[in-house]
Each structure stands twice: as structure tokens, then as C-alpha cells.
């Protein structure tokens, strides 16, 4: 199973795996050879290499979205026949989104108004990163409508009526401890007060933030939640289960609209 590790942030620039304690280079799987088109250097000489070829990425991403549709049909049929459980669907959904859809987006630049629908072409804001990847995962959602909502309203829309956990603490350490307590293995939506959104992933007990980061590297990345500079800037958070949200996943299976 592919799982891409990426990256500890630096400073504000205006605008499972083991613990991620260093940056590693990665490439997106594709049939055509990939070429290094962008290299960024951070403190202590750590370097990230974004390996990408525009045509290869577009083709690979299109194929990945086709795979999503086929996966959904297989899971729905397996559930009907009783050969799989709903827990299998929860795991398959999270793995497909985290390990297949999202990695194409790593390195895509952030901007406040960014709304590209193509990985590594144009720029993407945090809300559009969430709404676009959910849509490309096959969730029947209006990506513009979702992306333009406040973090709490995004949480309400994604929740489909399920529980929204509100975390309010006066230090990052206390907030981290409460978030850790409230989550289990799987994928979540996390809203940062009124200012930011992302995915929260818990794998092998480790919490990761996957988001379009407005701090360095000013792009879509994954980093440990505890070390995230964005996380440390906030004291209020909204948590919504994605991979443990039965209503959301049933709508995904049936192509039901998420309003």
C-alpha cells in the first residue's frame, strides 16, 4: 500500500507509516516516466523533490478516478451479497482517498483563491482541496458550495448529521491530547476555528494533518499534527469522522447527494 510521508513546515510565507520526522522524496505512480520539475530546500539541508510530468499526472489521476468508481461498485455488490462488512467499506474508502487520490495533490501550490481541479496545475485553497478530493473520490458533492463555507459549516455538511466534536483548549498540547482521545484509526475532517480546514488521519496511533498549507511549503502536504505550525496557531477545532461516518459512506455507495 502506498503511503506518502511529507513534511514538517517552516515559517509563515504569506500565504502505517512510522512517525514523520524527516522529509522524503516521492513520485506519483504513472505508466510514463516522470521528471523532477520542482525542488524545494528547507532548513538543515532537507530537500523535497516533486517528481511530476504534467501529462503523466493527468492520465494517472484520471485512471485513479476510474478505479474509484469500480471500487465503489465492487464494495456495494459485496455488501449486498454479504461477502464483506461495512467495516471493510470504511477501510477501503479511507485507503483509496489517502493513498490513491490525495498523493497526486502533494506539492500543488496554495493560494487563498486557488480552485484548480487538476493536481499540480494552478493553485488550490484549503477548502477546495477538501471538496475537490472528496468529489474525485466519488462523493456526490458540490465542490464550490462546500469550499466556500466556513470551517464549521463545512463540518456540518460533511457530517451528514453525525456528531461534530468541538475542541477548545488554551494550549496546543492540551488540544492535541483531546483530539488524540476523541479519534480512532481512520480519517477525519478538521476545521480550525474560522480560518482553515484539512484532513486528520490517524494511523498506527499517529496523527497526521493533510492540507493545503498556507505556511511553508505553501502547498498541499502531509505533516504530523503535533509539529504542524498551522495547528499551533489555533485553539478551537471542529472534528467530523469521515471513514467512521456511516451516513456519509452509505450516500457514497448509493451516489446520494451530500447537502
pLDDT digits (tens, 9 = 90+) for 86-142: 999 999 999 999 999 999 999 999 999 999 999 999 999 999 999 999 999 999 999
The stretch 61-83 carries a mean pLDDT of 97
Q: Which one, of 111, 103, 89, lies nearest residue 186 by Cα?
A: 89
Q: State the pLDDT confidence band at 58, using cuts at 50, 70 and 90.
A: confident
**What is the C-alpha separation between 256 and 259, in angstroms, rounded?**
9
Q: What's the distance, CA 186 to chain centroid?
A: 12
pTM above 0.75, yes or no: yes
Mean pLDDT rounded to a whole number for the chain: 83
* 156-202: pLDDT as tens digits: 999 999 999 999 999 999 999 999 999 999 999 999 999 999 999 99
**Cβ–Cβ under 8 Å, residues 214 and 126:** yes
Burial label, 201 (beta-carbon count in 10 A; 0-12, 13-18, 19+): buried
Q: What is the 3-state secondary structure (H, E, C) of 185-250?
A: CEEEEEEECCCEEEEEEEECCEEEEEEECCECCCEEEEEEHHHCHHHHCCCEEEEEECCCCHHHHH
- Grid coordinates representing 171 are 494550549
* 13-40: pLDDT as tens digits: 333 333 333 333 233 333 332 222 333 3
Residue with cell 522524496: 25
The stretch 55-80 carries a mean pLDDT of 91
**What is the C-alpha separation between 246 and 244, in angstroms, rounded?**
6
How many percent of the chain have pLDDT more than 90?
A: 77
* 143-169: pLDDT as tens digits: 999 999 999 999 999 999 999 999 999
Amino acid at each position: 500500500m502506498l503511503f506518502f510521508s511529507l513534511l514538517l513546515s517552516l515559517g509563515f510565507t504569506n500565504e502505517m507509516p512510522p512517525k514523520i520526522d524527516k522529509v522524503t522524496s516521492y513520485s506519483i505512480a504513472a505508466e510514463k516516466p516522470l521528471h523532477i520539475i520542482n525542488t524545494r530546500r528547507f532548513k538543515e539541508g532537507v530537500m523535497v523533490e516533486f517528481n511530476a510530468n504534467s501529462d503523466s499526472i493527468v492520465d494517472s489521476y484520471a485512471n485513479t478516478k476510474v478505479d474509484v468508481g469500480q471500487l465503489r461498485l465492487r464494495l456495494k455488490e459485496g455488501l449486498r451479497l454479504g461477502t464483506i462488512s461495512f467495516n471493510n467499506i470504511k477501510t477501503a474508502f479511507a485507503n483509496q482517498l489517502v493513498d490513491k487520490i490525495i498523493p497526486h495533490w502533494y506539492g500543488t501550490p496554495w493560494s487563498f483563491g486557488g480552485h484548480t481541479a487538476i493536481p499540480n496545475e494552478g493553485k488550490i485553497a484549503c477548502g477546495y482541496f477538501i471538496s475537490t478530493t472528496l468529489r474525485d473520490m466519488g462523493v456526490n458533492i458540490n465542490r464550490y458550495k462546500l469550499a466556500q463555507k466556513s470551517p464549521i459549516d463545512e463540518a456540518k455538511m460533511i457530517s451528514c448529521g453525525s456528531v461534530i466534536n468541538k475542541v477548545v483548549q488554551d494550549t496546543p498540547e492540551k488540544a492535541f491530547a483531546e483530539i488524540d482521545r476523541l479519534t480512532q484509526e481512520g480519517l477525519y475532517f478538521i476545521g480550525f476555528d474560522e480560518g482553515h480546514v484539512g484532513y486528520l488521519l490517524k494511523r498506527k496511533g499517529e496523527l497526521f494533518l493533510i492540507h493545503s498549507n498556507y505556511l511553508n511549503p505553501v502547498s498541499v502536504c502531509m505533516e504530523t499534527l503535533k509539529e504542524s505550525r498551522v495547528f499551533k496557531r489555533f485553539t478551537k477545532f471542529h472534528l467530523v469522522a469521515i471513514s467512521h461516518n456511516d451516513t456519509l459512506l452509505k450516500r457514497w455507495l448509493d451516489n446520494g447527494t451530500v447537502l
